[in-house]
Amino acid sequence: MSGEHPARQGAEGVREGQETILIAGGGHAGGAAAAALRQFGWKGGITVIGDEPILPYQRPPLSKAWLKGEATAESLALRPERFYTQQNIQTRLSTTVAAIDRATRHVRLADGESIAYHKLILALGARARRLALPGFDLAGVLELRTAADADRLKSAIGPGRRVAIIGGGYIGLEAAASARALGAEAFVLEREPRLLARVASPPLSAFFESAHRAHGVEIDLGCQVVGLEGQAGHVSGARLADGRVLPCDVALVGVGAVPNEEIAIAAGLDCQGGVMVDANARTSDPDIYAVGDLTNRPLPLYGRRIRLESVPNALEQARQAAAHIVGRAAAAPEVPWFWSDQYDIKLQIAGLPFDVAQLVVRGEPSSGAFAVFHLDADGRVQCVESVNTPAEFMGGRQLILKRKLVDAAHLRDLSLTMKDLAA
Partner 1 sequence: MPSITYIEHDGTAHTVEVPVGQSVMEGAINNSVPGIDADCGGACACATCHVYVDAAWEHLTGTRSDAEASMISFANGVEANSRLSCQIPVTEQLDGLVVRMPAGQH
Binding site for partner 1 (CB under 8 A): 39, 58, 60-61, 75, 79-80, 83, 86-87, 311-312, 315, 331, 334, 339, 341, 346, 348, 388-391, 394-395, 398, 419, 422
Q: Which is nearer to partner 1, 174 or 261 (CB)?
A: 174
Q: Which is nearer to partner 1, 391 or 408 (CB)?
A: 391
Using only C-alpha atoms, what is the Rg of the chain? Answer: 23
Closest alpha carbon to 92 in 4, 2, 3, 13 = 13
CB of 89 to partner 1, least distance (A): 11
Q: Which is nearer to partner 1, 73 or 331 (CB)?
A: 331
For residue 333, with 0-12 CB atoms within 10 Å meaning exposed, 13-18 middle and 19 or more buried, which class applies?
Answer: middle
Cα 419–chain centre separation: 30
Q: Are 334 and 48 in contact, with CB atoms under 8 Å apart?
A: no
Q: Are 100 and 117 in contact, with CB atoms under 8 Å apart?
A: no
CB of 272 to partner 1, least distance (A): 28
CB of 389 to partner 1, least distance (A): 8
Angle of helix 28-39 relative to helix 311-326, nearest 10 degrees? 40
Q: Which is nearer to partner 1, 128 or 418 (CB)?
A: 418
CB of 51 to partner 1, least distance (A): 22
- 213 φ, ψ (degrees, to nearest 5): -60, -40
Q: Which is nearer to partner 1, 114 or 398 (CB)?
A: 398
CB of 1 to partner 1, least distance (A): 37
CB of 144 to partner 1, least distance (A): 17
Tell me which DSSP letter residue 129 carries. Answer: P
Q: Which is nearer to partner 1, 47 or 348 (CB)?
A: 348
CB of 339 to partner 1, least distance (A): 4
Angle of helix 170-181 relative to helix 202-214, nearest 10 degrees? 20
Provide the 3-class DSSP secondary structure of residue 64: coil
Q: Which residues contact 212 (CB under 8 A, 6 or more apart)?
A: 173, 176, 177, 188, 195, 219, 342
Q: Are 77 and 173 in contact, with CB atoms under 8 Å apart?
A: no
Q: Are 275 and 147 in contact, with CB atoms under 8 Å apart?
A: no
Q: Which is nearer to partner 1, 173 or 228 (CB)?
A: 173
CB of 345 to partner 1, least distance (A): 12
Q: Are 368 and 345 in contact, with CB atoms under 8 Å apart?
A: yes
CB of 277 to partner 1, least distance (A): 20
Q: Which residues contact 245 (CB under 8 A, 6 or more apart)?
A: 229, 237, 238, 239
Q: Which is nearer to partner 1, 30 or 61 (CB)?
A: 61
- 47 φ, ψ (degrees, to nearest 5): -130, 125
List beta partners, residue 394.
Answer: none
CB of 54 to partner 1, least distance (A): 16
- Residue 77: CB atoms within 10 Å: 16
List beta partners, residue 373.
Answer: 360, 384
Q: Which is nearer to partner 1, 70 or 270 (CB)?
A: 70
State the Cα torsion 237-241-244-245 to the nearest 10°. 10
Q: Which is nearer to partner 1, 83 or 343 (CB)?
A: 83
